[in-house]
Amino acid sequence: MLTRPIPASGEAIPVIGLGTWQTFDVGPRAPERGRLQEVLAAFAAEASSDAADTGGRPMVDTSPMYGNAETVLGDLMTARDLRPGLFVATKVWISGREAGIQQMEASMRKLRVESVDLMQVHNLVDVGTHLDTLRGWQRDGRTRYVGVTHYTASAHEALAQVIARHIVDFLQVNYSVGEPEAERRLLPLARDRGVAVIVNRPFGGGGLLRRLTSTPVPAWAGELGCETWGQLLLKWVVSHPAVTCAIPATSQPAHLQDNLKAGAGPLPDEATRAKIAAEAR
């Protein structure tokens, strides 16, 4: 699998990660847990194996906003001792310094970890307060990297202002063929500022894939090693030079394998990216 360096450190991570929104929000006895364990174990094994030459660990991203997702992820990582092979990212999503610290400490307990690789201020909630706290957490080794997130185009200007004024390691933002607005200003700014970019909603919330279900994949997609629209749309996302990693969420082992295949083989050039966008829109 292709990897990209984190600008702040040079550490490499695979371009395809794993999101947990909705998919990991299940109960303690839910039958879905067995399938999620299969997904997480396969993700850790295959993505890590593909990136072994560069030492990259695949990213799994969660949040206290995602219901039981942190707890489920912590349980599943512990059950198979998967934590060492994963780049674990979560978020803080509350107002107030002390409330933020309490929430982040609760996230650590749910994830069953002493530290995380990345802590992000979710949806810019009380962003200045939490970034001040996270600088201390970074010095103390409780988080290796610090970031900010949002998932709507209406917040892109606010994100741009934050990364222009503050030193952050990661930006997480929505970006897809159906939601390309980030490429106008935000992605170039992140690249100029040396900020790694995580892409959420790489399928536009799933709407793109549903709409393309009855549309054949273009014959020329095979030149990129793509057999499905999911692979083609993910390749479009990770081929942008500012993008470090995309985090599609899934609870289905077959969908996971499909997503991982998008991280291998050639990436589209600008002309081919334009063709993909034209075919998909």
Cβ count near 142 (within 10 Å)? 17
Q: How many C-beta atoms lie closer than 10 Å to residue 176's C-beta?
A: 24
Instruction: Report the number of distinct structural domains present in the chain.
Output: 1
Q: Is 261 helix (H, G, I), strand (E, B) or coil?
A: helix
Q: Report in angstroms the alpha-carbon separations of 9 from 27, 118, 184.
A: 37, 13, 26
239-248 average pLDDT score: 98
Tens of pLDDT, residues 128-145: 999 999 999 999 999 999
Q: CA 129, 134, 139, 142 torsion: positive or negative?
A: positive
Would you state the pLDDT for residue 221? 96
CB count, 10 Å around CB of 275?
17
Q: Percentage of the chain surpassing pLDDT 70?
A: 97
Helices 69-80 and 97-111: angle between axes, nearest 10 degrees: 40
Confirm if 69 and 63 have CB atoms less than 8 A apart: yes
96: CATH: 3.20.20.100
Asked whether residue 212 is domain-assigned, the answer is yes
Cut 0.85: pTM above it: yes
CA angle 43, 49, 53 (to 5 degrees): 140
Indicate whether 188 belongs to any domain.
yes
Give a yes or no: residue 270 inside a domain: yes
Range of the domain at 157: 12-280
102 falls within a domain: yes
Q: What is the CA radius of gyration of the chain?
A: 18
- Helix 97-111 to helix 127-139 angle (10° resolution) is 50
Q: Are 187 and 199 in contact (CB under 8 A)?
A: no
Of 177, 174, 168, residue with least CA distance to 150: 174
Q: What secondary structure letter does DSSP report for 218?
A: P
Query: What residues are paired with 59 via a beta bridge?
Result: 87
Give yes or no for residue 117 having a pLDDT over 90. Answer: yes
pLDDT of residue 52: 53
In a domain, 210, yes or no: yes
* Residue 50 predicted with pLDDT over 80: no
C-alpha 109/C-alpha 86 separation (Å) is: 17
At 16-44, the pLDDT tens digits run 999 999 999 999 888 889 999 999 999 99
Residue 7 lies inside a defined structural domain of this protein: no
> Could you tell me if residue 4 is inside a domain?
no
Query: Which amino acid is present at 237?
Result: V
Q: 3 lies in a domain?
A: no
Greatest CA separation found in the chain?
A: 55
